[in-house]
Chains A and B, each alone.
Chain A
């Protein structure tokens, strides 16, 4: 069955550094992959989508890469700030517009 895994450990980094989060998947070839941000007590919020034919996508300080050979996506936040502290979820498309979510990686940026 389709499986998607993110860094299980929380990621702690210093303000100003680059945070890199990993999303790996197996038994599937998605047409696209999405990244969401979730703050405590709130629903996820869409950040970026990258298609299978795109190697990289950028939005302000965010960068996402998609390697269909490695079956992996990397999510980077450059010049990180304490306000970037949250849980980040990756999700793969499935049939019928459904998404399969990873368990999320909690990022903490210390000042």
Chain B
């Protein structure tokens, strides 16, 4: 199992450019999440998808859109990037580890917006 994979690993954008961050999981999990992590701020939830075909806003959704393409894939799109979106982005899926229902994280995408 690859677990949760994310592409790209690094990206530099200019203000106003758009891009899509890709995330896939091979654990057959229903729920998937997108977070951003900034120094001193911890992980903040951008959007989540409780199941295929549904998406909901998290704590910081402004400037982002998401698509739950199928059960495996959950993408995050920046339509017009801004310097405030410079961050590390993590995708996660939720499932059981033994008897504990927890989240599994991808390796992250480091995004810089100039």
CB within 8 A of B42: which of A34, A41, A98, A104? A104
Residue A111 is within 8 A (CB to CB) of chain B in the complex: no
Q: Give bound CA distance, A102 to B41, whole Å.
A: 8
The size bracket of the interface on A is: 20 to 34
User: Which of A42, A44, A97 contacts B43 (CB under 8 A)?
Assistant: A44
Q: What is the CB-to-nearest-CB distance from A1 to chain B, in angstroms, rounded to a whole number?
A: 10
Main secondary structure on A side of the interface with B: mixed
Inside 8 A of B104's CB, which chain A residues have their CB?
Answer: 46
Q: Are B50 and A97 touching (Cβ within 8 A)?
A: yes
CA distance in complex: A40, B56 (Å)? 29
* Shortest Cβ distance from residue B92 to the other chain A in the assembled complex, whole angstroms: 8
* Docked pose: A40 CA to B43 CA in angstroms: 14
Question: Which of B12-20, B62-70, B74-82, B94-102 lies at the binding interface?
Answer: B94-102
**Which residues of the other chain, B, contact A107 by a CB distance below 8 angstroms?**
none
Give A52-111 interface residues, CB cut-off 8 Å to B.
89, 91, 96-104
The complex places the Cα of A100 from the Cα of B104 at a distance, in Å, of: 15
A18-52 CB contact bits vs B (8 Å, 1 = yes)?
00000000000000001000000111111001000
Residue from B31, B40, B102 in contact with A34 in the complex, judged by beta carbons closer than 8 Å: B102
Contact of B90 among A43, A97, A102, A103 (CB under 8 A): A43
A89-B43, A97-B31 known; A43+B56 contact, CB < 8 A: no
